[in-house]
A and B are shown apart, each in its own frame.
Chain A
Amino acid sequence: MQTVKTLLLTCASLCACSLSLQAEVKTYDFQDPKGVNNVSFLLDAPLESISGNAKGVSGIVTFDSTNPNSVSGNITIETASLTATNNKLQEHMLGKGWLDASNHPTITFVAKSVSKDEQLKDGFKVQLTGDFTLKGVTKELTVPVTFTYLPDMLGKRSNGAMEGDLLVLRSTFTINRSDYGIKPGQNSDKVAEEIELRLAIAGAAPDA
């Protein structure tokens, strides 16, 4: 009788433990109605510096606040949401010769693996490896990403409309436009080969 009781207690504690562990794993939606999520780009060529911003960010990331090595998900940027400060420049940038936004409407990053780099006060710094697709060309990239976990902050951000957690991702990395077939080796005096991308996005995981 004592053995059965012990077995039942063990099972119950294992289930409770498993549930509490599962509770840490949450799925964050990066669709942002506030228009805060953004990816900025900078091309610094000898004759011209081009910079701008993209706000059409969406995606899903599954994150365990106790185990950053379990991160998975994807982030998508609408190519047409790339905005420059000059209309003519923007028209050229999205046109067929450069990003060809009509035929390649999205830029994506799909996470494949992650390695924890550093524990921060409210998150982690990791090296995230994934498939980055731009203008139809997919390359594997490893980029540094900072995860900032903001528990119970969704209510504050949504003025009490929803309760839940927020996850902020920040990353700065550089790609080479030639690698993605964007006019390789051409116009380098005005359009830099290297594109610096800065991503700052927040995802929400509402309480069930």
Chain B
Amino acid sequence: MTDPPPIKSSLFRLILRILALVLILASTAFWISTGSHTGFSKDRVEIPQVDPITQIEYVDYEERFVLGVEYLALACGIGVTIFGLSFAFRRKAK
């Protein structure tokens, strides 16, 4: 009969995997909530307008942060790395 894996090791593995999942899900949710913008991040958003008399199209800006794909990729990258690290804490073979 072999000893069960140390609690510390399996706990670490679980914590890392949960952390990775939370990071990936939270960043994806935030990215979707700010408009699923497929370009780089924006500090202001263009609001298209049309002048009723001259029919000139112009934009007004709304100061609002929109998460870009660079932050999403970074967060997902860190999440995947943490998930990969969790494999360093393997169960001992029986």
Interface residues of B in 28-52 (CB under 8 A from A): 39-46, 49, 51
For residue A121, CB closer than 8 A to chain B, the reply is no
Question: Residue B54 contacts which of A35, A48, A83, A168 (CB distance < 8 angstroms)?
Answer: A168
For residue B53, CB closer than 8 A to chain A, the reply is yes
Contacts of B40 in A (CB 8 A): 48, 86
Alpha-carbon gap, A11 to B14, bound state (A): 102
For residue A80, CB closer than 8 A to chain B, the reply is no
In the complex, which of the residues B42, B49, B53 has the most CB atoms of chain A within 10 Å of its own CB atom? B53
CB nearest to A158 among chain B residues: B53
Q: Given A38-B59, A83-B61, are A150 and B43 neighbors across the interface (CB < 8 Å)?
A: no
Question: Residue B53 contacts which of A53, A55, A153 (CB distance < 8 angstroms)?
Answer: A153
CB nearest to B37 among chain A residues: A85
CB nearest to B53 among chain A residues: A157
Contacts of A85 in B (CB 8 A): 42-46, 61
Contacts of A34 in B (CB 8 A): 51
Interface residues of A in 5-43 (CB under 8 A from B): 34-38, 40
Contacts of B51 in A (CB 8 A): 34, 36, 202
Interface size range of chain B in the complex: 10 to 19
For residue A200, CB closer than 8 A to chain B, the reply is yes
CB nearest to A89 among chain B residues: B40
For residue A201, CB closer than 8 A to chain B, the reply is yes
Interface residues of A in 40-69 (CB under 8 A from B): 40, 48-49, 53, 55
Whether the pair B56, A201 counts as a contact (CB closer than 8 A) is yes
Alpha-carbon gap, A58 to B55, bound state (A): 19
For residue A3, CB closer than 8 A to chain B, the reply is no
For residue A139, CB closer than 8 A to chain B, the reply is no
Whether the pair B42, A53 counts as a contact (CB closer than 8 A) is no
CB nearest to B59 among chain A residues: A53
Question: Residue A166 contacts which of B39, B54, B57, B59 (CB distance < 8 angstroms)?
Answer: B54
Whether the pair B53, A156 counts as a contact (CB closer than 8 A) is yes
Alpha-carbon gap, A202 to B57, bound state (A): 11
Apart from A86-B40, A86-B41: 10 A-B pairs, beta carbons within 8 A: A34-B51, A36-B49, A36-B58, A38-B58, A53-B46, A53-B59, A85-B42, A85-B43, A85-B44, A148-B54
- Which A residues have a C-beta under 8 Å from some C-beta of B? 34-38, 40, 48-49, 53, 55, 83, 85-87, 148, 150, 153, 156-157, 166, 168, 200-202
- Which B residues have a C-beta under 8 Å from some C-beta of A? 39-46, 49, 51, 53-61
* 21 A–B pairs (Cβ distance < 8 Å), ordered by A: A34-B51, A35-B58, A36-B51, A36-B58, A38-B56, A38-B58, A40-B59, A48-B40, A49-B39, A53-B46, A53-B58, A55-B58, A86-B40, A86-B42, A86-B43, A87-B43, A153-B53, A153-B54, A156-B53, A202-B51, A202-B53
